[in-house]
């Protein structure tokens, strides 16, 4: 049986918007700049901000959290079936 990579749900479009204005390095980041820095399509970032898209894979969610300067679970929450801590650790590792 194969394991699907976990997906992560954005906690709040407003939280993402606020953190984009005040990143961990003290700068703001635009949709286009965030997309470029994370290899996530600008349309995907825009859809996250409007609530049209709620989830991303672990790589994209981690890249966005890293660029903004917060821990993954500040901005995202794991979705799907209840996963063990080991499964989450494997995905993040």
Q: What is the pTM of this model?
A: 0.82
| Helix pair 85-92, 58-68: axis angle to 10 deg | 70
d(CA 8, CA 55): 5
User: Number of folded domains in the chain?
Assistant: 1
In a domain, 2, yes or no: no
Cβ–Cβ < 8 Å for 55, 44: no
What's 63's domain CATH number?
A: 1.10.260
pLDDT at 32 over 60: yes
pLDDT at 50 over 90: yes
Q: How far from chain centre, in Å, is Cα 14?
A: 13
In a domain, 17, yes or no: yes
Tell me the residue range of the domain where 67 lies: 7-92
């Amino acid at each position: 049986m194969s394991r699907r990579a976990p997906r992560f749900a954005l906690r709040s479009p407003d939280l993402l918007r606020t953190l984009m204005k005040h990143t961990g390095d003290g700068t703001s980041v635009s949709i286009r700049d965030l997309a470029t820095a994370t290899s996530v399509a600008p349309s995907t970032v825009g859809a996250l901000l409007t609530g049209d898209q709620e989830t991303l894979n672990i790589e994209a969610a981690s890249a966005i959290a890293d660029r903004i300067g917060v821990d993954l679970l500040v901005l995202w929450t794991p979705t799907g079936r209840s996963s063990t801590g080991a499964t989450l650790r494997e995905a993040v590792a």
